[in-house]
Every structure is written in structure tokens, then in C-alpha cells.
């Protein structure tokens, strides 16, 4: 039985989207990459086993959301980082153990890059090198900025920060002001270091303040981007321009 024909790189978002590593490869490099790499699909809540990471320490997220998780002794779970399309992981110098486990938060397409081809491309192709470096650097700075969200911000502020992060980072093309929340409430709670209940209450609060409108569990509409930004920056007193989005209530309240 032959191995299933690898999906051609040309159909992968790592290649298709400018700014990603594979998009900067030459035709020859892409061909080598295509021959030596392999695109796998991971279902939601599946963990990438340690031995797989050891055999394929270099990989890239082609679609979906991959998380770095840590489990505390008594069952508390932390999502320390989320990786999205274009993000490169190089675990050759970091055992997965010290980083945590890699768990898919949605259906994830992951490309196991050939380390040799990866290194080779980085060595000779300046633009591939720049893309890779830029991606890793951005991951570092995103993680730093996430740490700063977690350190001192209150629940509402963390959530506002996260919405802003989604707006900047999520690849989807949506009507202006609509934001796609790519992960579930429970995962979001573990990413922001809070409880699902608190996430829910904070969404409600943002909505009551007229800052966002919750369209469904994975879609928001931003009603007042400036207010959102200011809440994310720690100004908790801010109210949006369209308070009490669910019309009707405001009249009742005003009359009391």
C-alpha cells in the first residue's frame, strides 16, 4: 500500500498566504518540502503524543487552533499559548515536557516539516529565513503580551484584550467589526486564567456596556472599538456608545 499522496503544498495555507514561511520558498524548495513533509489532521481535544513530537520536532500549523497546555497537580488546566495558521514550532531544543502538551482546540491541520529541508531553506533563502525568524519572534512577543494580560488585568479587561487579539490575529475575512472567536468558552477560560462562569459573566458585562454584541458562541460584533481598546488597557470605567444592546431594557431602567 502506498502512502496516500500528500496534499500538494500549493493547497496549504502555509503556502497560499503571503507572510507565511512556505510562501517564501522557491519552486525547488517547495518541491523538496512537499516530498519530505506530511500534512496530518488532528481532531479537537486530541493530543499530539510525545513520541510523534520527537520524530517530527519541526511543524507548522496550517489551519485550526493548536494549544500548549499544562496540567497542574490537582487538575487545574492552563492553556499557555494558542497557535494558529502560519505558526512554526521547533521543538528540537526544547523538550515538549518543559513546554507542556500540544492539544488541538479545533480540527487542526498540521504540517510536519522535514527539519533538514527547513534548515536548508533557512540557510540559503533569505526571505524564507526572514519569514521564519519573524514568525518565531512574533510568537515570543505575543506570548509576552499574553503574560502581561494575565498578570494584573481583571476578568473584563482580559476578555477585552482577547477580543482585540482575535481581531488582529484571526485569519478569517469577516464583515468589518465582526470577530471570530475560534475557541470554546471553557478553553477560553483556561487561556485567560479564569473560570468558564466568569468568562460568561464578562461577555455579558461587555454586552451590557454596549461594547460588543454576542452574535453566537463564536461570533461577536464590536459596537465600540475604542471603548474595547480602553477596557483592554485597564480603564474599567469605560462604557460603550450603545449600552443595553438588547433594546427595550434601557427605557425601563431610565424610568425608575
Partner DNA sequence: CGGCAAGTTGAGCCAGGTCAACTCCGGTGG
Partner DNA sequence: CCACCGGAGTTGACCTGGCTCAACTTGCCG
CB 117 within 8 A of CB 80: no
58 vs 245, beta carbon nearer its own copies? 58
Q: Is 148 in the site for its own copies (CB under 8 A)?
A: yes
150 part of the interface to its own copies, by CB under 8 A: yes
Q: Are strands 77-83 and 66-71 parallel, antiparallel or unpaired?
A: antiparallel
Query: Considering only residues 49-78, where is the footprint of DNA by CB under 7 A?
Result: none
Only one of the segments 29-37, 106-114, 146-154, 208-216 lies at the binding site for its own copies (rule: CB under 8 A); that segment is: 146-154
- Rg of the chain (C-alpha set): 21
Residue 108 or 194: the one with the smaller Cβ distance to its own copies is 194
HSE at residue 81, side-chain half, CA atoms within 13 A, is 19
Cβ proximity to DNA: between 129 and 184 the closer is 184
Instruction: Give the chain's length.
Output: 256
Binding to DNA, residues 137-196 (CB under 7 A): 154-156, 184-186, 193-196
In the complex, the smallest distance separating the C-beta of residue 61 from its own copies, rounded to whole angstroms, is 14
Burial 187-209 (b: 16+ CB within 10 A, else e): bbbbbbbbeeebbeebbeebbeb
For residue 177, give Cα distances in angstroms to 121, 174, 182.
38, 8, 16
The site for DNA, by CB under 7 A, has a size of 20
Using CB under 8 A as the criterion, what x/- string covers residues 63-82 for binding its own copies? -----x-x-xxx-xxxxxx-
86 is written with which cell numbers?
502560519
Q: Does 141 bind its own copies (CB under 8 A)?
A: yes
Please pick, from the candidates 35, 116, 147, 215, the single residue that binds its own copies as defined by CB under 8 A: 147
Q: Does 50 bind its own copies (CB under 8 A)?
A: no
Residue number with CB closer to its own copies (146 or 245): 146
For residue 41, the partner it binds in DNA, its own copies, none, with Cβ less than 5 to 8 A by kind, is none
Report how far residue 36's alpha carbon sits from residue 38's, in angstroms, rounded to the nearest whole number: 7
Q: Which of 239, 243, 149, 155 is nearest to 195 (CA)?
A: 155
What, of its own copies, DNA, none, does residue 156 touch, CB below 5 to 8 Å by kind?
DNA
Q: What is the dihedral of CA 20, 26, 32, 36, to 10 degrees?
A: 0
> Is 139 among the residues that bind its own copies (CB under 8 A)?
yes
- For residues 103 and 7, the answer to whether their CB atoms sit within 8 Å is no
User: By the criterion CB under 7 A, which residues form the site for DNA?
Assistant: 154-156, 184-186, 193-201, 203-204, 214, 216-217
Amino acid at each position: 500500500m502506498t502512502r496516500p499522496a500528500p496534499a500538494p503544498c500549493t493547497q496549504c495555507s502555509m503556502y497560499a498566504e503571503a507572510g507565511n514561511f512556505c510562501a517564501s520558498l522557491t519552486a525547488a524548495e517547495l518541491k523538496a518540502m512537499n516530498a519530505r513533509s506530511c500534512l496530518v489532521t488532528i481532531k479537537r481535544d486530541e493530543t499530539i503524543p510525545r513520541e510523534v513530537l520527537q520524530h517530527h520536532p519541526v511543524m507548522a500549523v496550517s489551519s485550526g487552533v493548536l494549544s500548549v497546555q499544562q496540567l497542574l497537580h490537582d487538575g487545574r488546566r492552563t492553556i499557555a499559548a494558542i497557535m494558529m495558521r502560519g505558526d512554526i514550532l521547533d521543538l528540537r531544543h526544547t523538550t515538549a515536557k518543559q513546554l507542556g502538551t500540544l492539544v488541538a482546540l479545533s480540527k487542526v491541520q498540521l504540517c510536519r516539516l522535514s527539519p533538514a529541508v527547513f534548515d536548508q531553506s533557512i540557510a540559503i533563502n533569505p526571505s524564507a529565513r526572514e519569514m521564519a525568524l519573524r514568525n518565531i519572534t512574533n510568537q515570543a512577543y505575543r506570548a509576552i503580551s499574553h503574560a502581561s494580560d494575565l498578570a494584573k488585568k481583571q476578568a473584563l479587561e482580559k476578555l477585552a484584550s482577547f477580543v482585540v487579539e482575535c481581531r488582529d490575529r484571526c485569519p478569517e475575512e469577516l464583515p468589518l467589526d465582526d470577530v471570530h472567536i475560534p475557541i470554546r468558552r471553557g478553553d477560553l477560560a483556561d487561556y485567560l486564567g479564569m473560570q468558564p462562569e466568569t468568562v460568561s459573566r464578562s461577555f455579558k458585562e461587555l454586552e451590557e456596556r454596549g461594547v460588543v454584541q454576542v452574535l453566537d458562541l463564536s461570533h461577536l460584533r464590536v459596537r465600540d472599538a475604542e471603548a474595547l481598546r480602553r477596557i483592554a488597557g485597564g480603564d474599567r470605567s469605560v462604557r460603550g456608545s450603545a449600552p443595553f444592546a438588547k433594546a427595550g431594557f434601557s427605557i425601563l431602567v431610565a424610568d425608575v
